[in-house]
Structure 1
């Protein structure tokens, strides 16, 4: 078994697509601003975030519950320089729920949400402790 992607079911496809493409700067596999499906990847790595219109999947499954309330997913993205990424995304219009701050002694994190409330955790990994400690 191989994980190929994490897919978010979204109600406002164009808005969420533009957020991941324009605000976060992920690269679309192909342009699909109106949906019903898109796959976007960061500059490095093989992981992908896919978006699918809730109405499209509802048609496929012939049923789908109404959009759930509150946060439904958390996507963790590692960055080399959290402060620089925070500044760049803020300049693109991102509004952070939590600015960069330590999480334990192994990483720093910042949080924002996409237009449908899915959480995004930006992680800057700090130097790991020696295994002997």
Structure 2
């Protein structure tokens, strides 16, 4: 399939944010703020009456109640949700990335080793040390305190790749 600029897809501007449902908003919020230096953009407590029921509608959950925080660093935004109703079903924090559904999201960094050290100190667990791919990038997967998988990615020069 060939996609041309005149077929309407050019109207997509990019990714706005990643949304993550968590069991402990305060702890997870601290992790993302400290580990990635994210800033809080917005905080809200919501229920079925918030915004005239729009949260209930967009979430597709009758009687939805909880809290949400939107964080930003650079152009990357992460929205964290903690639901008080309905009672959430906790995800397996060690679920494999091969399970169907969104398996991870990726954050591009400029110094992957420095970020790995910072994230490990903040409580992240890593699948492996950063690896060189195709001589052009370094990457690794890590898990936040809730078990969500994040890829750290760094573009590298070909000369550096030969030394790695």
| TM-score (norm: length of structure 2) | 0.59
Alignment length, in residue pairs? 118
* Offset, 1:121: 0.8
Instruction: Provide the secondary structure at the position in 2 that maps to 1:29.
Output: strand
Instruction: Provide the secondary structure at the position in 2 that maps to 1:4.
Output: coil
Question: What is the match of residue 49 of structure 2?
Answer: none
CA gap 1:92/1:16 in 2 versus in 1, 3 angstroms: closer
Contact preservation (8 Å) 2:23, 2:82: yes
Counterpart check, 1:19 vs 2:31: yes
Structure 1 distance, partners of 2:122, 2:18, is 24
Provide structure 2 residue ranges, at least 5 long, that are not aligned to the other structure. Answer: 1-11, 45-65, 97-101, 159-164
Deviations, residues 17-48 of structure 1 (Å, cap 9, x unaligned): 1111122322221468xx71101111x22x31
Contact preservation (8 Å) 1:9, 1:52: yes
Counterpart check, 1:88 vs 2:111: no
Structure 2 distance, partners of 1:104, 1:31, is 41
| TM-score (norm: length of structure 1) | 0.71
Say which of 129, 136, 149 aligns to 1:106. 136
Q: Which has the higher contact order (CA 8 A, sep 6+)?
A: 1
Contact preservation (8 Å) 1:11, 1:55: no
* Offset, 1:116: 1.2
